[in-house]
Structure 1
């Protein structure tokens, strides 16, 4: 009986670790998208500034 409880505890821990890993991956993806949008805006502003200077 004790082994069954240990197996269940291990399975729950593995499931929690998997969920945490997915959440981290999702957060990293969202951060990368935000940074990409910021970089695109900065590039657009640089192009606009260059066009004004010419």
Structure 2
């Protein structure tokens, strides 16, 4: 019985870790996209002003 409980706990921890990793990498991609957009926007504004 105790072994089953441990397996279930390990599985839920693994799922939690995977979920966090996926959301973390997604957030990083989102941040990179926002930074690229901001830099592109600034470059575009400078090009217009020049």
Asked whether the two chains share a fold, i.e. TM above 0.5, the reply is yes
TM-score, normalising length: structure 2 = 0.84
Q: Which has the higher Rg, Structure 1 or Structure 2?
A: 1
Q: What root-mean-square deviation, in Å, do the aligned CA atoms of Structure 1 and Structure 2 show?
A: 0.9
Q: What residue is the counterpart of 1:14 in the other structure?
A: 8
Counterpart-to-counterpart distance in 2, 1:11 and 1:41: 45
TM-score, normalising length: structure 1 = 0.79
Any stretches of 5+ residues in structure 2 without a counterpart? none
Question: What secondary structure is seen at the aligned counterpart in 2 of 1:28?
Answer: helix
The alignment of Structure 1 onto Structure 2 pairs a total of residues equal to 48
Residue 39 of structure 1 and its aligned partner are, at CA, apart by: 0.5
